[in-house]
Structure formats: C-alpha cells, structure tokens
Amino acid sequence: MENEINYVQIGNRIRIEREKFDMTREKLSELLNLSPYFLGQIERGERKMSINTLINISECLHVSIDYLFFERVNANTNNNILHSLINKCSEKEIKVIEAVIKLLLPHLAR
C-alpha cells in the first residue's frame, strides 16, 4: 500500500521538527502535557498516538499532519532553516520578525 503509515518515519519527523526549535524532548512533552518517556516512544515509532496528540504536536511544531505522516510539503519550500522557520510563523509573528530585521539590517557589517 502506497500510503501505509510508518510510525518510525512519523516519529523521526517529529524529532527533526522539535530539534529545529532547539527544543528538548522534556520541553515539548511539557507543552503537550505528555511524559518525556511517552514522547520518546512516539519519536522512535514504538508507540502510536491519539488523534488529539497528533493534532497538538502538529500545532506545537507548526507542521501539517500530512507532512508528519507522508512528508508532503509545499513544492515551494526549500531546505533553508530560516525559510522553514518563517513558514511556521503566524502573520503576527512574521510582522514582528520583519520589524526586527528592519531594525538590525542597518547595523550589520556588509
């Protein structure tokens, strides 16, 4: 079956996205109200998660469920970390980032 669920790959994608935020497993598990041990089992593909847990992980890491399950991403997404992080931001967060960059740019050595 082409779209068979691979929990090891799902867990690996969760771990990769968590690490992009320099977030420990303990911190993410705290945000999700899960034990670090259980989150570790999810990341290793040893345990399945509820739909609610999946949704919470998706929202917390700012990734789609489709990405977590099948690694499907927008065709315009590149591997640039900054681009990836900005894609995860809300419109309000992007405006703050834009303002900070505008303040910083004149002070950066060229």
**Per-residue model confidence as pLDDT tens digits over 77-98:** 445 677 777 878 888 988 998 8
Identify the pLDDT of residue 52.
95
Helix axes 36-43, 7-20, angle to 10 degrees: 120
Minimal CA–CA distance to 80: which of 28, 20, 23?
A: 20
Minimal CA–CA distance to 56: which of 15, 28, 91?
A: 28
DSSP label of 108: S
**Per-residue model confidence as pLDDT tens digits over 29-67:** 999 999 999 999 999 999 999 999 999 999 888 888 989
Identify the pLDDT of residue 2.
59
* pLDDT over 50 (residue 75): no
